[in-house]
Structure 1
Amino acid sequence: MKVQSFSHVGITVSDFNRFVQYYWDVFGCPLVGVSEAPPERVRAFFGVGRDHPAPACKIGWIRVPGGATLEIFGFEPKLPPERIPWNKVGQTHFSFNVRNVHKWHDYLRAKGVEIVTTPEQSPRGHWFFFVRDFDGNLIEMIDLKHMYYVLGWLGPLGGWLFRRGMYKDYYAR
């Protein structure tokens, strides 16, 4: 058994409408669906608001160009955000594929986006930098250069070869 592709990442947001507008204005990602969970489901399924008279959850789907989706949750009541340290087990960031990180860096700075790092080049040749959205979510902006083609066309073959070669220790049972 193996998965077919990456689908989405879920993000709980502080302000549903602001998040939708921000991701449209800054990244060109449109809202493609919205639903509201009834209070009973918010309590039972999500375990939120058990002591709240009317817990709520608005759920939205924001389409990222290229195919992935940001699934966003606007809960009431909500907890305050926490900055996630790199070495804490669990998710740390998500990434957008872009072309020309230097132009993106300038564009995002002009938009008032919090810039975390300046663009830097990896030893393998791709460029990347990090930003935070208004809720503090860490986003990697990455230009994989030639690796787009390597991953797209040779990814399955490379995975097969690497499982049997230089990365075989990671697959030992």
Structure 2
Amino acid sequence: MKVQSFSHVGITVSDFHRFVQFYSDVFGCPLVGVSDAPPERVRSFFGVGLDHEAPRCKIGWIRVPGGATLEIFGFEPTCPPERIPWNRVGQTHFSFEVRNIHQWHAWLQAKGLEIVTAPEQSPRGHWFFFVRDFDGNLIELIDLRHMYYVLGWLGPLGGWLFRRGMYRQYYEGTPPAPGRR
């Protein structure tokens, strides 16, 4: 058994309409579906809002170019956002693949987004940087450059080879040898 592809990431938002407009204007991600969950569904499915007599949730699907989806939840009432530390176990960020990383950095900076890091090149040659949206969600923008083709065409073969070679210890459950990571 194996998954077919990455489908979506779920994000609870402070302002449904603002989130839709922001991701459409900034990243070109259109809203493709909306539904409203009544109080009984919010209580039974999400298990939240039990202390509120009529909790509600607007659910939306925002399509990311390339195929993934941002599933957004606009709860009423909401809880305030919290910044997630990198070393806390669990999700920390999501990533958009882009081209021309330095142009993206300048454009997002001019739009007033909170830029977390400057563009940085990895040892493998791809470029990336981090920004936050208005709710504080951490977004990585990554320009894979030549690695896009390597991952796209050679990814399955590389995964098969690495499982049997240099990354074998991760599949066998044995810790890597000191100095090998």
Matched, 1:48 2:48: yes
**Aligned residue number for residue 65 of structure 1:** 65
Identity of aligned residues (%): 86
Any conservation in 2 of the 1:130–1:140 contact (CA below 8 Å)? yes
**Aligned residue number for residue 84 of structure 2:** 84
**Aligned residue number for residue 31 of structure 1:** 31
Matched, 1:114 2:89: no
Q: Distance in 1 between matches of 2:23 and 2:112?
A: 13
CA RMSD of aligned residues (A): 0.6
Structure 2 SS opposite 1:82: coil
**Aligned residue number for residue 3 of structure 1:** 3
**CA deviations over 1:79-125 (Å, ceiling 9, x no partner):** 10000000000000000000011000000011111100000100000
TM-score under structure 2 normalisation? 0.94
Q: Distance in 2 between matches of 1:56 and 1:80?
A: 16
Matched, 1:13 2:48: no
The amino acid across from 1:156 in the alignment is P
**Structure 1 residue ranges, 4+ long, deviating more than 6 angstroms after superposition:** none
Structure 2 SS opposite 1:19: helix
Q: Distance in 2 between matches of 1:143 and 1:97?
A: 6
**CA deviations over 1:45-74 (Å, ceiling 9, x no partner):** 101111211100000000000000000000
**CA deviations over 1:1-49 (Å, ceiling 9, x no partner):** 1000000000000000000000011111000000011110101110111
Structure 1: give runs of 5+ residues left out of the alignment.
Answer: none
Moved more, 157-166 or 46-55: 46-55
TM-score under structure 1 normalisation? 0.99
Structure 2: give runs of 5+ residues left out of the alignment.
Answer: 174-181
Structure 2 SS opposite 1:44: helix
Structure 2 SS opposite 1:129: strand
Any conservation in 2 of the 1:61–1:72 contact (CA below 8 Å)? yes
Matched, 1:103 2:117: no
Q: Distance in 1 between matches of 2:73 and 2:121?
A: 34
The amino acid across from 1:8 in the alignment is H
